[in-house]
Amino acid sequence: MRAFFFGLGFSSTYAADALRKQRPTVDLFGTVRTPDKAETLRAGGIKAHVFNGTAPGPTLGPDMRSSSHVIFSIAPGADGDPALIHHRADLDAATDLQWLCYYSTVGVYGDFAGAWIDETAPLVPRNERSDRRVLAEQVWRDYAAQRGVPLTILRLAGIYGPGRSTFDKLRDGTSRRVVKPGQVFNRIHVEDIGRVTALAAENRLDGTFNLGDDEPAPPQEVIAHAAAMLGIEPPPELPYETAPMTPMQRSFYADNKRVSNAAIKQALGIQLLYPTYREGLASILDKEQA
């Protein structure tokens, strides 16, 4: 297995680590935006190339062409997916290509007024970011069909993990307990993203799947729970109607749904490592205190 990641960010780095634990002989490649990060990853055994999404990466072609498994985690721009715009010829030339994976978002569904939905729900995105994801998903389905290779699309819920959790916002004073009655969100621990990606790669899974936790929950409850774990008072509740938010922050509250993860668990025969935010936060705190 030679796995190439377009966009070695938070989730992809965990996926690369999970692949390496699952198959120690895997060759890992990928892209980052800066030379410094590329150097850091190379020191850890991942051959990283600089690619900022606006022009072809000058060095990544040979590794792309020799890859068997390719994972895409770069958000599409107004013109489409940067990997296809700048490196379709290299992907076309990957003669041993066996599997593709695309990280999308549950934002493609839009608003369902808190109802449970699964992968059969219609896509009615409520913002331009999610509109682009819908288009990108179809572009990758068309490409995978053209190449005759399986494609896993993972629609990710809100990602959290070590260094990127409610704990960090509570500690730096940026956490705000915005209350919109009836509002819930799914979340997904980054280790679950890594594990599911690695298992999907090993099985060459084909299809579109939601990847969120088992218990969508109101954001203010998660903040209060995390504050109690730290032994501090949670920030005061702020009514959604009057809470100061950027347009992007407010756009997240326009979507209210409970997203089922049954399909991906059945497809891989697994349960999540962190089925709710409680297990996920407990693990983060345990590792911090170890």
> Is 12 within the bounds of a domain?
yes
Residue 20 lies in a domain: yes
**pLDDT class of 126 with cuts at 50, 70, 90:** confident
Is residue 282 in a domain? no
Q: Give the three-class secondary structure for 121.
A: coil
Specify the CATH number for the domain of residue 198: 3.40.50.720
Provide the domain limits for residue 52. Answer: 2-160+187-214+258-273
Integer Cα distance of 38 and 2 in angstroms: 18
pLDDT of residue 181: 96
pLDDT given at position 290? 80
187-208 pLDDT, tens digit each: 999 999 999 999 999 999 999 9
pLDDT at 146 over 90: yes
Residue 220 lies in a domain: no
State whether residue 223 is helix, strand or coil.
Answer: helix
Q: Decide: 172 and 121 in contact? Cβ < 8 Å.
A: no
84 is a domain residue: yes
What is the spatial distance between Cα 14 and Cα 192, in angstroms, rounded to a whole number?
A: 9
pTM of the model: 0.96
Q: Is residue 15 part of a domain?
A: yes
Per the domain annotation, does 127 fall within a domain?
A: yes
Which run of H or of E encompasses 72?
A: strand 69-72
Residue 249 has pLDDT above 90, yes or no: no
Helix (H) or strand (E) holding 281: helix 277-289
- Indicate the number of domains in the chain: 1
